[in-house]
Chains A and B, each alone.
Chain A
Amino acid sequence: MTDATALSRPTESFSLSKLWYDKKYRSVILQMIAMAILFAAIFYLAGNAVSNLEKLGKTFGFDFLSQPAGYDINQRLIEYDSRSSHLRAGVVGLLNTILVAVCGIILATILGFALGVMRLSPNWLVNKLSYCYIEFVRNVPVLVHILLIHGVLVTTLPKAKQALNVGDQFFLSNRGLYVPKPIMEPLFYLVIATFVGGIAYAWYYRRQARIKQEKTGAQSPVFWVSVGAIIGAPIAAFLITGMPLAWEIPELKGFNFRGGLALKPEFISLWLALSLYTAAFIGEIVRSGIQAVSHGQTEAASALGLPRGRTLNLVVIPQALRVIIPPLNSNYMNITKNSSLAIAIGYMDVVATIGGISLNQTGREMECMIIVLGIYLCLSLIISSIMNWYNNRIKLVER
């Protein structure tokens, strides 16, 4: 026993046996042991990998990222050609992953909420339809959905030359859906500015309305003013500036359509499959969330004379969201992670580019896999932190 311990704990004497029998020490020691084992395991695995790589005569390094990739990618959000680097190919893939994940999350949420509400409908047919959909979809692996939708799209849609033509503007074939592409003229930036201003004004108005309501009890038409500012004003600006938007119409030239915006069948099928699959899970989450709110709450609200719409908005939904948000978070992460199945149909996501072709052409399995793992980890953490932030905002505030 040293003087230091005697000083810091003047009332208790320290003995070695305390390290184990005192609950406080024991928990710290157990955690230290666990950490030590974890680090030893990581160290062992890393050392093992290094020695195996050495045995194969391979070096570890990320130099290959700056070399030309040499392959082409059919769908890209940024400029890319076969002379671009592996790094750029990886970024193209990452953006494609993010694109399909974001689109998937939006569609799955909309569908999921609709399914959840339908599932609670007193209408027998609507209720059972939703039930059958949910039970069927969520018991079939998502990969099967992806392959099925892709197969159906590619084999049933007409070939490019016989594409379904809607008003010479929209073309649907098994090469994808081609739509006119908007091209901004300089004045269009004014419309964008109005839109941003509209959002700012709506936010400001809402704040003022709340302050006013707290002071006087009078309510302001927040919803309609917001609609006017965010949607109405930009439309007005668009018309006043003389519609500063040109459209690039896709047209059939040679083998394929040129120009316009294209939604490739690979993107459509991955997007639909992920959304339809995850919507079934979200539907169940929404149903359970709404059912978690005791019926007494609704009855109490109507006893106070609140109309039905306000009861939903102010009583039911805020309480249901508390139940819905945490499992929703993990479903959003599932969509993002499941998007890696893109590889089955040739959608060029991050697994297909850096974790697939680049890996194969350069033989840097370890490095490429580390990059891909890191990317998915980051995406999951980002989604999780956004959802947790939102969850904290809406959770029960105890006063």
Chain B
Amino acid sequence: MKKITQVALAVAAFGVVAGNAQAGTLQDVMAKGHVQCGISTGVPGFAFTDDAGNWQGFDPAVCQAVAAAIFGDASAVKYTTTTGKTRFTALASGEVDMLARNTTWTFSRDTDLQFEFTGVNYYDGQGFMVSKDLGVTSAKELDGASVCIQTGTTTELNLADFFRTNGMSYEAVPIETNDEARTNYIAGRCDIYTTDASGLAATRSTLDDPSAHIIMPEIISKEPLGPLVRHGDHQWGDVVRWVLNALITAEELGVTQANVDEMAAGTNNPEINRMLGAEGDLGAMTGLPKDFGHQAIKAVGNYGEVFERFIGPSTPIGLERGLNALWTQGGILYSPPFR
């Protein structure tokens, strides 16, 4: 009889643990020792493998910052590549802990698909790229063109709306990944490649003669891209949200990868002190170490540094800050205060 009680207790305990595990992504991540991060299959600048075969780029940097915040080690990330079609299933099923792959924040994804966007790391909009030979200067002249689109994206829906509302026809050439789009575009299977303007700039940089292709002035949609997690786990959502906010606030307050160690010792700006863990314990409020901000910034640098390193004007991608400049510098990038 005693044995049966023990077994029953063990089963009950297991049930409780399993039940908790469902809700506590942060605990799961800590237990397994790494963040499982969903990224794209490769967009130059935004997600690519370096010479050593490690994933780098504007999006993996978010994953690395989160890993650094939790473990103090930016390399405690394992990546899962996802396409436009597989990404949501991967996240919903728990295959990945978070997604960081140019995903647009929309109403239905937030509510119906049950995801939580933890912020915006790139304000984008959908554009068109064509070869200069075609002699087209405006998207309004694209009637009858063949258009390469990545399926399962908001791009696809915007495109259909744009052509329909402007009374133009087009041939949709559906493709799965950015690489495939590039191949089809170069071969002339489609006249136009459409995706977020950042993605177009990234793809153009990899073409043989980038100057032979133009990105049309029309931006036909708002595409706020940001990392996302599953609904229902607010602690984990907070972790990802505030790591991203730390990178943005760091730029605003002049904290860089180079000076963060020095500043972590204490400054006369209390917000920097709180963010880097020299004052108070913001980390504990969401289950993170006290110095999570310090570790994240030390690992990848502040938002501006990440931008400069992977996609900024000095890189082949050559994106201007534009909307993505800080609110203090004419952009709309704005982080809530660390308080």
A residues lining the B interface (CB < 8 Å): 55-58, 70-74, 81-83, 151, 154-155, 159-160, 174-175, 253-256, 258, 265, 343-344, 346, 348, 352, 356-357, 359-363, 365
Report the minimum CB–CB distance from A395 to chain B (whole Å). 45
Q: Judge whether B58 is part of the interface by a CB distance below 8 angstroms.
A: no
Taking a contact as CB atoms under 8 Å apart, the answer to whether B189 and A255 are in contact is no
| Given contacts A154-B189, A356-B151, A346 and B173 within 8 Å (CB-CB) | yes
Instruction: Give chain B residues whose Cβ lies under 8 Å from the Cβ of A72.
Output: 156, 159-160, 163, 170, 172
Instruction: Give chain B residues whose Cβ lies under 8 Å from the Cβ of A74.
Output: 171-174
Report the minimum CB–CB distance from A171 to chain B (whole Å). 14
Q: Judge whether B254 is part of the interface by a CB distance below 8 angstroms.
A: no
Taking a contact as CB atoms under 8 Å apart, the answer to whether A256 and B171 are in contact is yes
Report the minimum CB–CB distance from A159 to chain B (whole Å). 4
Instruction: Give chain B residues whose Cβ lies under 8 Å from the Cβ of A73.
Output: 172
Report the minimum CB–CB distance from B333 to chain A (whole Å). 29
Other contacts beyond A56-B92, A72-B172: 9, CB < 8 A: A160-B188, A174-B187, A175-B146, A256-B144, A356-B85, A356-B152, A363-B92, A363-B108, A365-B89
Taking a contact as CB atoms under 8 Å apart, the answer to whether B189 and A265 are in contact is yes
Of A82, A174, A362, which is within 8 A of B189 by CB?
Answer: A174
- B-side binding surface: helix, strand, loop or mixed? mixed
Q: List 30 A-B contacts (CB under 8 A).
A: A55-B22, A57-B114, A71-B160, A73-B172, A74-B171, A74-B173, A154-B187, A154-B189, A155-B183, A174-B187, A175-B189, A254-B143, A255-B134, A255-B142, A256-B146, A258-B144, A265-B189, A346-B173, A352-B151, A352-B174, A356-B151, A356-B152, A357-B151, A357-B152, A360-B84, A360-B85, A360-B151, A361-B157, A363-B108, A365-B89
Instruction: Map CB proximity to A onto B73-89 as digits: 1 under 8 Å, 0 otherwise.
Output: 00000000000110011
Q: Judge whether B51 is part of the interface by a CB distance below 8 angstroms.
A: no
Instruction: Give chain B residues whose Cβ lies under 8 Å from the Cβ of A343.
Output: 176
Report the minimum CB–CB distance from B219 to chain A (whole Å). 19
Q: Which of B31-45 contact A (CB under 8 A)?
A: none
Instruction: Give chain A residues whose Cβ lies under 8 Å from the Cβ of B232.
Output: 57
Q: Which residue of A lies closest to B151 (CB)?
A: A357
Instruction: Give chain A residues whose Cβ lies under 8 Å from the Cβ of B145.
Output: 254-256
Taking a contact as CB atoms under 8 Å apart, the answer to whether A253 and B144 are in contact is yes
Q: Which residue of B lies closest to A344 (CB)?
A: B176
Taking a contact as CB atoms under 8 Å apart, the answer to whether B160 and A82 are in contact is yes
Q: Judge whether B27 is part of the interface by a CB distance below 8 angstroms.
A: no
Instruction: Map CB proximity to A onto B26-67 as digits: 1 under 8 Å, 0 otherwise.
Output: 000000000000000000000000000000000000000000
Taking a contact as CB atoms under 8 Å apart, the answer to whether A363 and B188 are in contact is no
Q: Which of B81-135 contact A (CB under 8 A)?
A: 84-85, 88-89, 92, 108, 112-114, 134
Q: How many residues of B contact A (CB 8 A)?
A: 40
Instruction: Give chain B residues whose Cβ lies under 8 Å from the Cβ of A253.
Output: 144
| Given contacts A346-B176, A352-B151, A360-B151, A255 and B191 within 8 Å (CB-CB) | yes
Q: Judge whether B161 is part of the interface by a CB distance below 8 angstroms.
A: yes
Report the minimum CB–CB distance from A371 to chain B (whole Å). 16
4 closest A-B pairs (Cβ-Cβ)? A360-B152, A82-B160, A159-B188, A346-B174
Instruction: Give chain A residues whose Cβ lies under 8 Å from the Cβ of B288.
Output: none
Complexed CA–CA distance, A357 and B22 (Å):
29
Instruction: Give chain A residues whose Cβ lies under 8 Å from the Cβ of B152.
Output: 356-357, 360-361
Q: Which of B170-184 contact A (CB under 8 A)?
A: 170-176, 183-184
Complexed CA–CA distance, A253 and B169 (Å):
12
Complexed CA–CA distance, A352 and B172 (Å):
13
Instruction: Give chain A residues whose Cβ lies under 8 Å from the Cβ of B176.
Output: 343-344, 346
Taking a contact as CB atoms under 8 Å apart, the answer to whether B188 and A56 are in contact is no
Instruction: Give chain A residues whose Cβ lies under 8 Å from the Cβ of B188.
Output: 159-160, 174
Instruction: Give chain B residues whose Cβ lies under 8 Å from the Cβ of A83.
Output: 164
Q: Judge whether B321 is part of the interface by a CB distance below 8 angstroms.
A: no
Instruction: Give chain A residues whose Cβ lies under 8 Å from the Cβ of B22.
Output: 55
Q: Judge whether B309 is part of the interface by a CB distance below 8 angstroms.
A: no
**Interface core residue of A70, A154, A160, A360 (most chain B CB under 10 Å):** A360
Instruction: Give chain A residues whose Cβ lies under 8 Å from the Cβ of B172.
Output: 71-74
Q: Judge whether B231 is part of the interface by a CB distance below 8 angstroms.
A: yes
**Interface core residue of B156, B231, B232 (most chain A CB under 10 Å):** B156
